Amino acid sequence: MDAKVTEELYYIIHETVVNSVKSSCANSIKIIVQWGPELVITVKDDGQSRIVAPRGGGSAGLERRAERIGARLKEINTPGGLTFIIAYTPH
């Protein structure tokens, strides 16, 4: 995988974990990595989600990072936590 892709994925994961630690009041954060035809990384916490905490500039930064490498970023809010799914198909 290209070094720039690896770097951007690292920072996306880092930012989602830092946001969970700082803002979500989560008891746990799970990171699941699945490698097949595409790389799928799921970061899920069991905190308060954006239903309580408003969406901030951090999410826009995550989206920009994903776009730079051609990845897709999906955010799922539930009362039981916040989940980010990052999907990247290598070229």
**Of the candidates 18, 76, 78, which has an alpha carbon nearest to the alpha carbon of residue 48?**
78
CATH superfamily, region 3-88: Histidine kinase-like ATPase, C-terminal domain (3.30.565.10)
Domain boundaries, the chain: 3-88
Per-residue tokens: 14? 């880092």
Cα 8 from chain centroid (whole Å): 11
Give tens-digit pLDDT for 6-45: 999 999 999 999 988 888 888 999 999 999 999 999 999 9
For β-strands 29-35 and 72-78, DSSP reports them as unpaired
Rounded to two decimals, the pTM is: 0.86
